[in-house]
């Protein structure tokens, strides 16, 4: 049996468990703690930054893959040196781990990106601000997620703390009409599969709502997004699922925001929305199995995140919306924490959005 080891025990690892069972793959998870979201398959608990812990976890595993992009390069190198297959490859992962490297590489490869620069001191921030209308975006290169490490900046003093820790990525504040995400899966030898581009809505920098396919995405947008996704996956030699976050500008251009080389919040909607979910496809790709169909199973699928708590005593209140699917990540309640999601499918976009929102509302936390 193929054995896949996942580093990180969050909800992404958790949502790989069902598909692994279906595909006949043995999934093992290196979780952070005994109450991690993917605890059901946590065969080890330990620190993913510790080389010995990770090497021990990798013994008897055919392929190592990831629930997050925070595994240090030294740990990845040690795995490769020990002869372990790491997918995606550490050289590709390095680009997803560092937003400055990501911008540089995407730019060099000729992909459309926002205007960007790197600042090491407040003078350089002031210069970039002056060239971009006095309002810009600043990002810490590493460790950010869900809007942490991203700020709108009008004064260099706002990011003096970040600057004291190293270079900061600066970007023009893109006047986007909406955000999209293109998911692609790629096998080691280069076979790819793309899902239709989705529309994503972020609240306070955190993904909150996803619609498959992106409404009013005409064939041109679908094709351009799919082409960007495929080209990046091939250019960087990504194995597994790659998510390409995109800005659609008011004048109809697509700019690449950031990349994630793993299943992504924008792809949870594929569980019910698509013939093959991103989780199943990620496992197929990293195990080097043939990829599954990415066709949609319904005209529309809408995913809404649940934050704070997703208490089971509210399941009964779902009532007339019992066709909306519930995904509970088994996490302890905490204000603002992503604890689950709901997905509605249907023939009519507005009705599908309505039903997903109605159920998400039932779980809106009051903690
Ligand atoms: N250059 C930009 N212009 C306008 N909005 C941006 C820009 N960069 C990021 N954002 C907004 O901030 C959100 C989070 O930024 P992102 O770089 O994707 O960080 P994270 O790693 O937290 O997802 C984006 O989804 C978008 O809404
Ligand atoms: Mg993002």
Residues 6+ apart with CB under 8 A from 202: 147, 179, 208
pLDDT above 80 (res 163)? yes
Q: Mind listing the pLDDT tens digit for each residue in 209-254? A: 999 999 987 899 999 999 999 999 999 999 999 999 999 998 889 9
Highest CATH level, class, for 115-172: alpha beta
Q: Strand, coil or helix: what is 317? A: helix
CA-proximal residue: ligand 1, atom 16 (nearest): 147
Burial of 55 (0-12, 13-18, 19+ CB in 10 A): middle
CATH code 3.40.50.20 region(s) in the chain: 3-86
May I ask the CATH architecture of the domain 176-362? Answer: 2-Layer Sandwich (3.30)
Q: Mind listing the pLDDT tens digit for each residue in 266-310? A: 999 999 999 999 999 999 999 999 999 999 999 999 999 999 999
Q: What is the distance between the alpha carbons of residues 316 and 214, in angstroms, rounded to a whole number?
A: 31
Centre of ligand 1 to C-alpha 114, Å, is 11
Name the pLDDT band for 89 (thresholds 50, 70, 90).
Answer: very high
Centre of ligand 1 to C-alpha 121, Å, is 22
pLDDT above 90 (res 10)? yes
At how many degrees (to 10) do helices 73-81 and 51-58 cross?
40
The mean per-residue pLDDT over the stretch 302-324 comes to 95
Domain 3-86: assigned CATH number: 3.40.50.20
CATH code 3.30.1490.20 region(s) in the chain: 115-172
Residues 6+ apart with CB under 8 A from 231: 109, 111
pTM of the model: 0.97
Quick check: 71 and 58 in contact, CB under 8 A?
A: no
Query: Would you state the pLDDT for residue 367?
Result: 64
Alpha-helical (H) ranges within the chain are: 11-23, 51-58, 73-81, 90-97, 99-108, 122-131, 160-165, 219-236, 270-273, 278-286, 349-362
Quick check: 234 and 168 in contact, CB under 8 A?
A: no
Tokens, residue 193: 């599969």
Give ligand 1 pocket residues (Cβ under 6 A): 114, 137, 139, 144-147, 150, 171, 173-174, 179, 202, 205, 245, 257-258
């Amino acid at each position: 049996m193929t054995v896949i080891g996942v580093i990180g025990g969050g909800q992404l690892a958790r949502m790989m468990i069902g598909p692994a069972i279906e595909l006949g793959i043995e999934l093992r998870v290196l979780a952070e703690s005994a109450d991690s979201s993917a605890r059901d398959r946590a065969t080890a608990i330990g620190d993913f930054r510790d080389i010995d812990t990770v090497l021990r976890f990798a013994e008897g595993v055919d392929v190592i893959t990831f629930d997050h992009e925070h595994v240090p390069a030294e740990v990845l190198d040690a795995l490769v040196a020990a002869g372990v297959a790491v997918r995606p490859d550490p050289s590709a992962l390095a680009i997803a781990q560092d937003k400055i490297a990501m911008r540089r590489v995407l730019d060099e490869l000729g992909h459309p990106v926002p205007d960007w620069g790197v600042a090491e001191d407040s003078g350089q921030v002031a210069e970039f601000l002056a060239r971009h209308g006095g309002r810009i975006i600043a990002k810490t290169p590493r460790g950010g997620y869900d809007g942490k490490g991203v700020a709108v900046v009008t004064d260099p003093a706002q990011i003096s703390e970040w600057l004291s820790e190293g270079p900061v990525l600066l970007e023009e504040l893109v006047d986007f009409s909406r955000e999209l995400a293109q998911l692609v899966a790629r096998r080691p030898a280069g076979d790819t599969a793309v899902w239709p581009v989705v529309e994503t809505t972020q609240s306070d920098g955190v993904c909150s709502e996803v619609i498959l396919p992106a409404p009013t995405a005409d064939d041109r947008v679908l094709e351009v997004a799919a082409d960007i996704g495929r080209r990046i996956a091939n250019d960087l030699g990504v194995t597994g699922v790659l998510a390409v976050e995109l800005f659609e500008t008011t004048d109809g251009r697509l700019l690449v925001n950031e990349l994630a080389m793993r299943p992504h919040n924008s792809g949870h909607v594929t569980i019910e929305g698509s013939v093959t979910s991103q989780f199943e496809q990620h496992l197929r790709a990293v195990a080097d199995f043939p990829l599954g169909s990415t066709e949609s199973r319904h005209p529309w699928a809408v995913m809404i995140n649940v934050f704070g708590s997703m208490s089971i005593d509210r399941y009964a209140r779902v009532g007339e919306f019992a066709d909306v699917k519930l995904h509970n990540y088994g996490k302890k309640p905490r204000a603002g924490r992503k604890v689950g999601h709901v997905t509605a499918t249907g023939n009519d976009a507005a009705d599908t959005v309505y039903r997903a929102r109605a159920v998400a509302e039932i779980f809106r936390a009051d903690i």
